[in-house]
Amino acid sequence: QVQLVESGGGLVQAGGSLRLSCAASGSIFSINHMGWYRQAPGKQRELVAAITSGGSTNYADSVKGRFTISRDNAKNTLYLQMNNLKPEDTAVYYCNAEGLVTTRLGPPRIVTPYDTWGQGTQVTVSS
C-alpha cells in the first residue's frame, strides 16, 4: 500500500517559521490530491492547505499569506512552509494523500484507489 511519513515539526516562538515535509512511499501508481490538516486539543481536524497533481492550491483563511503548500512529484513529497507562526497554529499536523496504488503488476496491471494519512507531527508555537 502507501505510507506517509511527516517530519519537520517542533517548538518555535511566535513569528518564527517551520517547514513540514511528507514523504510518500509504496506501490504508488499516482498521487492526485495531497493536503495538510491539523488538529488542536479538543478541536476537530481541519484542512490547512491542499494541492492537486497539477499544482492548484487552496488554503484555510486562517493561514492565507503565511503558509505555502508545494509538492515535488518526482520525489513523491509534500511540503508546508509555515511563516509568521502564531500560538493558535499549535496542533498536530497530518499529511493526507489520495490516488491509485498498484495492487497487481500484471499483466494486466491492477490499480485501486487509496486515501492515506500520516502519523502526524507536533507543531507548538509559544507566545
Burial environment of residue 54 by CB neighbours within 10 A (0 to 12, 13 to 18, 19 or more): exposed
Predicted pLDDT of residue 1:
87
Q: What would the mean pLDDT of 78-88 be, rounded to a whole number?
A: 98
Give the model confidence (pLDDT) of 13-30 as tens digits: 999 999 999 999 999 999
Q: How far is CA 86 from CA 8, 11, 18, in A?
A: 17, 12, 12
d(CA 91, CA 103): 34
**Dihedral angle of Cα 72, 80, 53, 106, to the nearest 10 degrees:** 60
Longest dimension (CA), the chain: 58
DSSP 112: E
| pLDDT at residue 97 is higher than 90 | yes
d(CA 27, CA 125): 36
Q: How many CA atoms lie within 13 A of 5 on its CB side?
A: 4
Question: Which residues are registered as beta bridge partners of 11?
Answer: 124
**pLDDT band (50, 70, 90) for residue 3:** very high
Q: What would the mean pLDDT of 53-70 be, rounded to a whole number?
A: 97
Q: What would the mean pLDDT of 61-82 be, rounded to a whole number?
A: 97
Predicted pLDDT of residue 33:
95
Higher pLDDT, 88 or 107: 88
Least confident of 15-29, 50-64, 77-91, 100-114: 100-114
**pLDDT band (50, 70, 90) for residue 35:** very high
Q: How far is CA 115 from CA 34, 54, 59, 62, 101, in A?
A: 10, 18, 20, 25, 10
Predicted pLDDT of residue 106:
85
DSSP 1: -
